[in-house]
Structure 1
Amino acid sequence: MLPSALLLLLLCVRALSSDCPENCSCPSPDSVFCFTRRSSTVPPVPSSTEQLYIFNNGISTLSAEDFQHLGQLQMLDLSQNQLSEVPDGVFEMLLKLKNLDLSSNQISHISKDSFSGLVQLERLYLYGNQIQIIQIGAFDSLHNLLELKLHENLLTSLPTLSFPRLLLLDLSHNNIPTLGPSDLQIPHLEALKVSSLGLTSLDTNLIASLENLHYLDISMNQLVEVPLALRQDNLRGLIRLNLAGNPLRELKAEDFQKLNGLQELDLSGLNLQSIPQGFLDNFPRLVHLKAAENPFNCLCPLAWFSVWLREKTLTLGRPEETRCHFPLVNAGKMLSELEYKDFGCLHTSTVGASTFSQSTLVGHMTTYPDTAHKNATSSPLLRVSNPSSIAPSQSPQTSDQTQCPGLCQNGGQCQVDPLGQRGCRCLPGTAGLYCETKEDPLKPWSTDVPVVVPISSRHVTATSILLDLHRFIQTQPHIRGIRLTYRNLSGPDHRPIILRVPASYPEYTLRGLRPNCTYSVCASPLVEKIQRWNSSGEMVSCTEARTAGAPLSPQEPRFTTPGPQSGNLEPALAALALLLGLAVLTGTLVCVRRRRTKPGLEVEGRSCEVTCPDPHTPEQVSVPHTQPDSDPALGSAHKQAGAASEGRTVSLK
């Protein structure tokens, strides 16, 4: 009996897989992935499809008929195709669609009815297109939208964006030099990215209207001073601030007094020569700092910074690009590796950063011999890696550290050639112009042996968790995408929610979570990578994080990412139907066997005269198909696949 039931189930699964479109793969009954298919139209897919990924297929046109039978669709990825427009009403039949990715196409405009009917849509990705115009009312029906990404387009203006639930808005890399509160009516926005818009100022009223802001990116604009908008009380909850690439030149502590909740600050590329002593004490919760690409003067007034970095338990991002520019004795050295004595201070005793007094620090400069100094400034440094290869007439002179004191690091020897050019002979295991880089002794990751690397959470708010996926991605260079599975361990419903993100996303934020709850988050490679090893979970990396408590203000709403609701009974009913079908099959087999062996056999006082179904007629046995829980995908696995995934992300999240 049992072998017969298993055979029927296998036949059912095979029948379902036969509906998979040509040149596509269907890893589950509700998912269709078309990676290599080349066609200008959307392929026909089963009506039960919930996740449809048809990116980079060459699709140039869409019509409502392509989707009219896909009422169960929740995720649609049409990115990296050849679409030039979104026809009016083309998605009207997709009433359950939650995620729509149209990124990296050639769309030039968005009309009023492009997204009509998408009443359940939560994430809309339109970045990497050529959008110049968005008609008024184009987003009016998207009341449940949580994320909108419009970066890397050709926008010069915006219609009024009014979203009651939006949490993330990315407008970066457009040409919108002014933004006011009338442009963005998004009271509960958590993350605003307006990098590289050409902004010369930041509207104070706009920032005042965003009372729930946690992440602000105003990098790569034309801000010549820190905006006064950052001095407002409503930014005490700001966690991440990116100022990189603005021509600020100097920092003032009073501009940042209200930002004592910052955990991540990016000061890269601001043309800073120094950081005021005590400036970073404004941020007691800081865990990640970037100050790369600044021409720092590594003299005594900056000596406190080196000590401060050692005292604080924080991460200095891009340390290899955070170097001294002046004086010559320190030029090119990484700021994080300098000792207090390297700054030329007269007082060389070890003191804490908090005890520094500017009046006790006296600058000191080293004077070089005239000839050496002249040659060093007029000619590039000579990197001496193999002196034996140099002609005898050009061989370096004997090492003389007095002619280039403190130039070479990590035990490297200073060499001066006959022309007066100076360079460093590096010891094995070191590299760089000054031997400043220590080569990584770790062997390259081998795909033959699974390596589990951790993921971690960096920033946690009441409704979001920022995941750090850097190491997970770096050790798996051929990964197509990442499968993120998270569940709420504090509530009654522990069912997992699954996202697929691109491998080009080294960071990803889970949004719409419940406050004051513990979440378990696991990452694993996408299906094709998992199949290379067994299914025991060897390649799965997990972490846990607890969201913060709900705000005290009664006006701030709590949003959660909707889980499966309407389909809660479907798995149970399907399982019950399957059991009933198996019971009927069992009774049929028993009845037929008894009829053949003992005709007229009485069962409980009745003869077996019931018409028994023929077990060899498969259409008489119905094996219902059980639909899995909804799987709200977030991105596509192709995102910048040539460069990276993330993802972003190739996303399939």
Structure 2
Amino acid sequence: MKPFHCLLLPLLLYLQMSSWALVNSCPKDCTCLNSDSIFCFARQATTMPPGVPESTKKLYVFKNGIETIEQEDFIGLESLEMLDLSQNKVNELPAHVFEPLSSLRNLDLSSNQITHIFQNSFAGLELLERLYLHSNSIRSIHPAAFDGLERLIELKLYRNKMTTIPALKMPNLLLLDLRFNKISSLGPADLQAPKLESLKLGGLGLTTLNQEFLGSFKNLHELDISNNQLKVFPRVLSEAMGLVTLSLAGNPMGPLKWKHFENLTELQDLDISNLSLQSLPENMTMLFPHLKKITVAENPFNCLCTLAWFHIWLRNNQIMLGRTEETRCHFPPRNAGKVLERLGHNDFGCPVTTTISPATTTTLPPPLITTLHSTTGAIPLKPSNEPFSETDIHPLPPVPASPSSSAGSGLNIHFCPSNICLNGGTCWLDHQSQFKCTCPRETSGKYCENKEDLYLPENVSTASINVLPEIFVNAITSSSILVDFNRYVARRSNIHTVKLTYRNLSGSDKRPQQRNIPAIHQTYTLRGLLPNSTYSICASLLDETTDVDRVCTEAQTLNQQHTSAQVEDPQLTTMLLPALTIVLLLVLMAIAAGVACYMHRKKKAQLHLYCDPSQLELEGVKVDLDNEALPQKQPDIMSSQSAVQKDFLDYEMPLIQDCCVANNTNTLKPC
């Protein structure tokens, strides 16, 4: 038997030669992570990269500036399974251009400039499963363009300029996305896809929803008809009992009739945003027993007592509220503009709870409701620093009034049964004399029967928690935030670009800023931020128009003074102390000399002696001088540091300074 080191040496030599071969075979300006995946990101070239190895299975050539593609670009790539040509400038797909790619299963041509799809544009792609053509300028598609694509399961055509679609016959299609085109009507002959599960028709301008068209899909689970012109609730939806996800947002339907939802008991995700809803009925709790997410943003809610049940229902049933920041109150004025989920029970103006007995009437204060606000992807590691008392955690239940000794009064006795609320919960009566339980922070459920661990002990690591944030921030300064989206990428397959959107929640300008980051980087530093400001940071897929895959968190930049204190050198401070002492002595001596000079000049003035002209200027003698000759204040001259410090100092900073240095040296254009 040969020694181990004799076997190890040839193995290392083989691996080294393999790595050399991989580097040598990698196309110019591309990155080859392994033997079958090549990334050519932002190459700034108008043609396909030459010299792609024949063994390549995944080729990502997005955001290169490619204008034309030809069949010769793909000859020899019979093993290719994934081709990403998104975010280029391709305007035409020649006939048979992809025919050499006989093994191709995924083709992404989104965000190009394609205007027409010809008959044989996809000829030869018999194994193709996913075809993404969204975000182009497609106006027409040949009726036979998709013939032969028998295995296609996903077709995305949203954000184009189509007015009609060809008759699509796709026996295995599961997802069709036609959103944001100009297709005003759809009939049963337009689409024959018996296995279709997800149909997205948002933003088409539909005025009606054809009953025969929608009724042909027996396996439909997801339907998006948002942002159309539907004035009434489509009757055919009442029979779509298998729907799991439904979006009705942005239609001029008027008041919803909730009886139309009685058969939609399987719904798990409901979007009823922007429907001019002012309130929500409490019987929603029985209509949707399996609901996991609801979105009610952009509605002018009247946050009165009739809506106080909503956020308690969300919390007790662990239902996610979509677009939380856009779900706000419109009335009454004291709640106008406030985020609905963050209101406490008392903020809804509910009347105090009253228990009545024949002899006494006891008025109780409104019950204490502890609201929990959670942001997707964030885990509170410790309780708030706000002081609280023991009654906040275990509020005392109301004491029922003593029954009267006199009989025959005819009044009913309304009070909570004893021990009905568990784990320290508080029982109270609503305006319909129905008892409710207000649960402490650690519990939930109708009777506070469920115990929850809201905070992590200090000796427990976050690695042991099942639900971890998909994006998180660190390395925060006064002008930058490092965003780590490693976990967001790891939990999603076939993602090549992450869209980071951030906006300043503290300033007057809340317009979102966007950065498109290659997924292979997995971290990115947002620069050029304002100090002492709260930023909302969201990660999403590049071409995703909904918030299904959108994850957000919040972070606050440091104050400039705090940052300066952090970088202060103790040794430098020690060296500066003697110098500061000397300067202070000189200042004191100058003040003493000034006082002596002032007293001397005052004495001369009393004797009608010579007066210094400079003193006349200070006393306002030169008031007739042209003020326009003096330097005027410019709005953009004051540094951001001055604006920040003005709120904390007893004096205002000078209007014009010799040197105005911005907080961040890279303020022209953030990376």
TM-score (norm 1): 0.56
Which of 493, 499, 504 aligns to 2:494? It is: 499
CA–CA distance in 2 between the matches of 1:220 and 1:264?
A: 17
CA–CA distance in 2 between the matches of 1:40 and 1:639?
A: 22
Q: 1:287 Cα deviation (Å)?
A: 1.3
Alignment of 1:60-139 (within 5 A): 60-139=67-146
The Cα offsets for residues 193-224 of structure 1, whole Å up to 9 and x where unpaired, read as 11101011211112211111111111111112
For the 8 Å contact 2:496–2:520, the answer to whether it is kept is no
Q: 1:302 Cα deviation (Å)?
A: 3.1
| Partner of residue 22, structure 2 | 16
1:286 equivalent in alignment to 2:291: yes
| Partner of residue 326, structure 1 | 331
Alignment of 1:412-431 (within 5 A): none
CA 1:198 to 1:479, structure 2 compared with 1: closer, same or farther past 3 Å?
Answer: same
CA–CA distance in 1 between the matches of 2:175 and 2:342?
A: 37
Which of 213, 219, 232 aligns to 1:212? It is: 219
CA–CA distance in 2 between the matches of 1:203 and 1:87?
A: 36
CA 1:183 to 1:344, structure 2 compared with 1: closer, same or farther past 3 Å?
Answer: same
Alignment of 1:192-207 (within 5 A): 192-207=199-214
1:163 equivalent in alignment to 2:66: no
| Partner of residue 275, structure 2 | 270
**Which amino acid in the other structure matches residue 137 of structure 1?**
A
CA–CA distance in 2 between the matches of 1:102 and 1:135?
A: 17
The Cα offsets for residues 6-32 of structure 1, whole Å up to 9 and x where unpaired, read as 213321331232011111111111111
For the 8 Å contact 2:226–2:249, the answer to whether it is kept is yes
CA–CA distance in 1 between the matches of 2:541 and 2:486?
A: 7
Which of 470, 473, 477 aligns to 1:472? It is: 470
Q: 1:505 Cα deviation (Å)?
A: 9.9
Unaligned runs of 5+ in 2: 1-5, 356-454, 456-460, 474-481, 502-517, 524-539, 552-671
CA 1:347 to 1:172, structure 2 compared with 1: closer, same or farther past 3 Å?
Answer: same
Identity between Structure 1 and Structure 2 (%): 48
CA–CA distance in 1 between the matches of 2:133 and 2:204?
A: 17
Tell me the secondary structure at the aligned position of residue 97 of structure 2: coil
**Which amino acid in the other structure matches residue 156 of structure 2?**
K
Alignment of 1:457-468 (within 5 A): none
Alignment of 1:156-195 (within 5 A): 156-195=163-202
The Cα offsets for residues 419-477 of structure 1, whole Å up to 9 and x where unpaired, read as xxxxxxxxxxxxxxxxxxxxxxx9xxxxxxx9979887xxxxxxxxxxxx9x4245573
The Cα offsets for residues 1-54 of structure 1, whole Å up to 9 and x where unpaired, read as 331342133213312320111111111111111113222111121111111111
Tell me the secondary structure at the aligned position of residue 122 of structure 2: coil
| Partner of residue 47, structure 1 | 54
CA 1:505 to 1:117, structure 2 compared with 1: closer, same or farther past 3 Å?
Answer: farther
CA–CA distance in 2 between the matches of 1:455 and 1:175?
A: 44
Which of 32, 43, 46 aligns to 1:26? It is: 32
CA–CA distance in 1 between the matches of 2:488 and 2:117?
A: 30
For the 8 Å contact 2:471–2:486, the answer to whether it is kept is no
1:639 equivalent in alignment to 2:542: yes
CA–CA distance in 2 between the matches of 1:119 and 1:108?
A: 23
For the 8 Å contact 2:101–2:125, the answer to whether it is kept is yes
CA–CA distance in 2 between the matches of 1:246 and 1:127?
A: 23
**Which amino acid in the other structure matches residue 4 of structure 1?**
P
For the 8 Å contact 1:236–1:260, the answer to whether it is kept is yes
**Which amino acid in the other structure matches residue 30 of structure 2?**
C
CA–CA distance in 2 between the matches of 1:638 and 1:301?
A: 38
CA–CA distance in 2 between the matches of 1:36 and 1:646?
A: 25
| Partner of residue 252, structure 1 | 257
Q: Give the count of matched residue pairs.
A: 399
CA–CA distance in 2 between the matches of 1:645 and 1:53?
A: 24
**Which amino acid in the other structure matches residue 47 of structure 1?**
E
CA 1:19 to 1:282, structure 2 compared with 1: closer, same or farther past 3 Å?
Answer: same
For the 8 Å contact 1:78–1:102, the answer to whether it is kept is yes
TM-score (norm 2): 0.55
CA RMSD of aligned residues (A): 3.3
| Partner of residue 565, structure 1 | none
Q: 1:285 Cα deviation (Å)?
A: 0.5
**Which amino acid in the other structure matches residue 322 of structure 1?**
T
Q: 1:141 Cα deviation (Å)?
A: 1.1
Where relative contact order (Cα < 8 A, 6+ residues apart) is larger, the structure is 1
For the 8 Å contact 1:219–1:245, the answer to whether it is kept is yes
For the 8 Å contact 1:105–1:129, the answer to whether it is kept is yes
| Partner of residue 529, structure 2 | none
Unaligned runs of 5+ in 1: 351-441, 443-449, 457-468, 487-497, 507-524, 531-636, 649-653
CA–CA distance in 2 between the matches of 1:203 and 1:274?
A: 30
For the 8 Å contact 2:470–2:485, the answer to whether it is kept is no
For the 8 Å contact 2:498–2:519, the answer to whether it is kept is no
CA 1:268 to 1:453, structure 2 compared with 1: closer, same or farther past 3 Å?
Answer: farther
For the 8 Å contact 2:105–2:129, the answer to whether it is kept is yes
Tell me the secondary structure at the aligned position of residue 19 of structure 2: helix
CA–CA distance in 1 between the matches of 2:548 and 2:298?
A: 26
